[in-house]
Amino acid sequence: MSAKVLIVAEHDGRKLNPSTARCVSCARALAGAQIAIVVCAADSAAVAAEAAQLGGVTRVIAIDNPANAHALAAVLAPQVVAVAAPYSHVLGPSTTFGKDLMARVAGLLGAPQVSDIMAIESATRFKRPIYAGNAILTVEASGDGKVVGTVRTASFEAAGGGGSAAIEKAAVDVPLPTHTRFVSVSAAKTDRPDLQTAARVVSGGRALGSAEGFKILYSLADKLGAAVGASRAAVDAGYAPNEMQVGQTGKIIAPELYVAIGISGAIQHLTGIKDARTIVAINKDGEAPIFEVADIGLVGDLFQIVPEIEKLLG
Amino acid sequence: MKRILVGIKRVVDYNVRIRVKPDGSGVITDGVKMSINPFDEIALEEALRIKERGGAEEVVVATVGPADTQQQLRTALAMGADRALHVQADGVIEPLTAARALLKLVEKEQPLLVILGKQAIDDDNGQTGQVLAALWNRPQATYASKLELAEGTARVTREVDAGLETLEIDLPAVITTDLRLNEPRYVKLPDIMKAKKKPLETLTLAALGVEPRQQLRLVHYAPPPQRQKGVRVRDAAELVDALKKKGIL
Ligand SMILES: Cc1cc2nc3c(=O)[nH]c(=O)nc-3n(C[C@H](O)[C@H](O)[C@H](O)COP(=O)(O)OP(=O)(O)OC[C@H]3O[C@@H](n4cnc5c(N)ncnc54)[C@H](O)[C@@H]3O)c2cc1C
Ligand SMILES: Nc1ncnc2c1ncn2[C@@H]1O[C@H](COP(=O)(O)O)[C@@H](O)[C@H]1O
């Protein structure tokens, strides 16, 4: 029996989030899988068209409903369940969108969920990190019944294009709750690359000392075309907004280049950057644990070094 | 009575360096410090603050787990919870089983709010709150960093990838906590003495009518792959050169 995978698309109403293409790669690791994507939106046209082009996807199910204008797990979950019957696997990204939604889907289905899938061993065997990435656990589902999963996006490349899946509108007739209402979302406006998908990330810690202090990172990041991240200590102290936090309780990222500046390298932080190709650490304490994972380490005062690097970059 | 139910999980303390057993059968937990899951401490702190502001009359903590878990329930009582419920269960407790047991407690206790952690730092599943909300057919507000209660509703600010999202939800509901919701109080010695006299009720999964089903077999534990040892450079110029050599700049 080959796997039939349903992927729940993450999007903002206009564009598909890159996390969905990474879920497609995860699904393709299931040998011979048939892959469908479900798009729940107020108006799915643009997003569904984008999803249909992902390589390996054979079917896009579009569910249009004004109630889907904002992604509310309690509203989306019953719709996903309504179209999930033919599928052996139901996957979503391990982003705040996917983590919030997929476990609710699993609850409605009474199915087990494998969180943060980092590797597929077979249709029923998966690898996932536990204890903040300090152990890798292999789990096995029985094979009778569905498996719900969230995909650790840093572990999979985004699937390319080249697909031409059929888009079907699904009329889903299930009662949707009104007990959960969207009020607002506030996000700091930025022209910098998105932290989760950026090839380069410059990240700052408590050592930056203030929101003002973070400005030297923004300046360096702009030179490098990098996104800016932060440790939890920096976010807690109000030096950087929460969406910049990297780590176990922030974002898990896999850039080509990660520059950790004034970050000690607590395990909760390191778990967010383990898949970075090259890690650079700048810290005045030569014993800081960040140097244990750094490919290139520089011991010194960041307030002196960072402007120097910027100058050298021209 | 306006009641808040808080889920407590006993986990390996977050300061412990985790090591995988050589035979891959698990991680070493013998002689290791155990604590309340940090997100659950935050959940309890929030419940206590709501009660102290007059928004609730009773805070009940609950755990599903082996006998040892009572230590963490006693700590929770010392922090200020009024009562504790211990659902005795051995072996692996998957989120679905924990949520089913918590649902039975919800039906018994009729809380206004259930507050859980956003994830347990041992299995890092991050599922139980959402599964409970699904089974209960009630709202969920996960990753909460701010919680304001009104009559019959709550306004919750959530930490999401895009920034901060605010939801309005009807009560009762399930909230899961993020780290910035609050900073938990320390337990004082006299409170530890007082906690010994607070009620702690023991139940069983069977008595609640919950069948402990394990749907995922835990096949193998491995240490994570180690990164190659890196190089040290002396100054900014050497750093930029090293990056150029690697073809990154
Ligand atoms: C459940 C839980 C979850 C967590 N999740 C996360 C998470 O997702 N992400 C995260 O980051 N943390 C997380 N943490 C917190 C984590 O344990 C650390 O406290 C945090 O990462 C420390 O941040 P920091 O490195 O910026 O600060 P510190 O540990 O204070 O380090 C500051 C560093 O800056 C260096 N420094 C100081 N001045 C200078 C200077 N002038 N020049 C150069 N270097 C300098 C110091 O030597 C030091 O190494 C979590 C903790 C818990 C309990
Ligand atoms: N066995 C349990 N007993 C009580 N609460 C639990 C249990 N397992 C999980 N929880 C709650 O659910 C949250 C998320 O756990 P998890 O889904 O395992 O990551 C925890 O922070 C607890 O608040």
Closest CA to A205 of A295, A297, A282: A282
Q: Are B199 and B76 in contact (CB under 8 A)?
A: no
Looking at the predicted structure, is the pLDDT value of residue A189 above 80? Answer: no
Looking at the predicted structure, is the pLDDT value of residue A257 above 90? Answer: yes
Residue A208 phi, psi (nearest 5): -65, -25
For the stretch B132-164, pLDDT in tens is 999 999 999 999 999 999 999 999 999 999 999
Among protein residues, the one with the nearest Cα to ligand 1's atom 11 is A231
Q: Which tokens in the block code for residue A61?
A: 């199910």
Among protein residues, the one with the nearest Cα to ligand 1's atom 50 is A268
- A313: how many CB neighbours lie within 10 A of its CB? 13
Closest CA to B77 of B98, B89, B57, B62: B62
* Element (DSSP H or E) covering residue B103: helix B95-109
Task: Quote the mean pLDDT of chain A.
Answer: 96
Choose one of B116, B142, B177, B210 to mutate for the ligand 2 pocket test, by most ligand atoms within 8 angstroms of C-beta.
B116
Please give the model's pTM, rounded to 2 decimal places: 0.96
Closest CA to B118 of A248, A112, A269: A248
Which residue carries 């199915």 as its tokens?
Answer: A111
Q: How confident is the model over A202-229, as a mean pLDDT? A: 97
- B8: how many CB neighbours lie within 10 A of its CB? 27
Q: How confident is the model over A193-215, as a mean pLDDT? A: 96
Residues with a CB atom less than 6 Å from ligand 2: B 7-9, 37, 39-40, 43, 62-65, 93, 95, 98, 116-117, 119-120, 123, 125-129
Looking at the predicted structure, is the pLDDT value of residue A56 above 90? Answer: yes
pLDDT for position A1: 61
Looking at the predicted structure, is the pLDDT value of residue A22 above 80? Answer: yes
Alpha-carbon radius of gyration of chain A: 21
Name, in order, each residue with C-beta under 8 angstroms of B234's C-beta and a sequence gap of 6 or more.
A298
CB-nearest partner of A179 from B27, B166, B169: B169
Q: What is the mean pLDDT of each run of 10 residues along chain B (249 residues)?
A: 97 95 96 97 98 97 97 98 97 97 98 98 97 98 98 97 96 96 95 96 97 95 92 97 94
- For residue A206, how far is its CA from the centre of ligand 1 (angstroms)? 6
Residue of B113, B142, B183, B239 best to disrupt the A interface, most CBs of A under 10 A? B239
pLDDT for position A36: 98
Is the peptide bond preceding residue B199 cis, with omega within 30 degrees of 0? no
What DSSP character marks residue A153? G
Looking at the predicted structure, is the pLDDT value of residue A276 above 90? Answer: yes
Residue B172 phi, psi (nearest 5): -75, 160
Among protein residues, the one with the nearest Cα to ligand 2's atom 5 is B7
| Class of A200-313 in CATH | alpha beta
ipTM of the complex model: 0.96
Q: Do domains A4-169 and A200-313 have the same CATH topology?
A: yes
| Class of A4-169 in CATH | alpha beta
* Chain A partners within 8 Å of B122 (Cβ): 130-131
Q: Are B169 and A181 in contact (CB under 8 A)?
A: yes
pLDDT for position B180: 92
The chain B residue lying nearest A99, using CA atoms, is B126
**What confidence category does residue A285 fall into, taking pLDDT thresholds of 50, 70 and 90?**
very high
- B195: how many CB neighbours lie within 10 A of its CB? 20
The chain B residue lying nearest A182, using CA atoms, is B167
* Pocket of ligand 1 contains residue A248 by CB under 6 Å: yes
Q: Are B97 and B159 in contact (CB under 8 A)?
A: no
**What confidence category does residue A187 fall into, taking pLDDT thresholds of 50, 70 and 90?**
confident
* Domains of chain A by residue range: 4-169, 200-313
* Pocket of ligand 1 contains residue A20 by CB under 6 Å: no
Looking at the predicted structure, is the pLDDT value of residue A190 above 90? Answer: no
Q: How confident is the model over A142-155, as a mean pLDDT? A: 95
